[in-house]
Structure 1
Amino acid sequence: MDGESVRIAKDVLSAGAEAKICLPDSPEEFSRALARRGSRRPVVLGDDRALLRTVALLHRERELAEGALSLVPIGPQDALEVAHALGVPRSTPAAARVALHGAVRRLDLLVDDSDGVVLGDLLVPGVPLPVAAAPSVWGTCRSLVRTLVRPAPAPVARLRVEADGILLADVDAPLEGLTVRPVGGTAEVTVHPASAPTRHATAGTVTVSGPDFRYRADGRLTGPVRRRTWTVRAGAWGLTLPVEAA
């Protein structure tokens, strides 16, 4: 989709190291190329989905603790929010140079009971992202929309939330949302009840159960499920970042 950025990344990487370039045409080819990496350190050219796919594959093969990954971000900015939050440079040449000369930072990982992984924030319940109106239509109809449309109420869910076995919310109390973020070897848990103060906790495991619910992690919507447990794996994977960020 962005051949020029790929060319730039290849040129920078090949100028600074003995690089083998793989251009897989399918997820299956991607998996085979990663499995045949040998002693080479993988550098992923792509967006958050490509990074997540790589981490998930290495996790399933129980090879995530071996070595480190690098990412050269290629794609629209809204598809690279996780990468940038982790500290990956925004420009292609800068990120390629970091892949060559950066420092490895060990990062935490959320692993669920279906062997799925989460790199960034976990949001429960997950809802579809809003669709933006076209600029021309929005400019024309702004005053009418302000007059006729009322903000929709925030969706609520009835879920049971436990952090290391401690009950933070139950199905008898509506819940506006739950955020889980791996930080410093533990999960930072924030519960937003619909009619009570926000609650905070830190834990090694977080379990959510109740009526069918969806959750959003790393930009992806998953579910519905009735129960899911996430466990923090401290320093589970390594990402090459600028020296000052690592």
Structure 2
Amino acid sequence: MNKKNLRFVVALHIEAKSIISLYNLKKYKIRKKNFELYQNLGLNIWLVISGVGNINASEATKYLYQRSPINKKNIWINLGMAGSNNYNLGETFNIKKVTYKTKSYYTSTLVNNIISPGEIISVDKVEKEFSKQNVLYEMEAYGFIKEVEKFCDREQICIIKLISDNKKNAPTNFIKNTKFYINYNLENIEKLIDAHVKIASNINENNNSNLYLIQRKFNLTFSYRIILNDLVLNYQKIYPKNLLEKIIDESKDIKELINTLKNKIKIYTLRV
């Protein structure tokens, strides 16, 4: 059985119900109950019910990280409902940017073609004005993403939001409509998650120690890490380690570093 390696943070049980059923998650029984947890150990899938709000989402994310097995290939997912000025009820979005006051956070840049990309403004209380168009308003994504960024790459962060209400339609029959909207879009939600799983499967469990030097200087995305892992391994086969450290130190940005390594490897290949 292939492991999925998924970690869900979901505010409400009704928002999680379809996911619990899809992956056959069972309630995790613990003596001290801080947050409600569900799991499928065979697939390495865990889900936490956080409750509403960024503070709860933040605490639940930390709790899930501490409780569930740590795996370099884990995909962290925040699924839930959101409001909007102009988007239609039930529309589903693959969130690429989360803004909270003056702070902005970003998710994977690699998976863009299954569910429409969108942007979130995360707020601390229920939004009723929806002053900006072409964005979603919600209350958990900031608390979620500010925590997961501490222990995984952007390419392993997935935020999925569905429209529950907009300028013209109040969130009436929330439970019934939430269940319908998520079930209706569940096939595409699963495809989006599987696309992230496929990308994460390329993560090399073996540490390349020299990547730490690069990570320390540059904030690497998953895609850059994959590129640099191969380049560094090839470079080390033909040049001394101290030369690599010098190149890293002298590089002004990640693109300059990549180009320098490619050119050095190319020059050596031409000589041979």
Quick check: TM above 0.5?
Answer: no
TM score, norm. by length of structure 2:
0.29
| Larger strand percent | 1
TM score, norm. by length of structure 1:
0.31
| Larger helix percent | 2
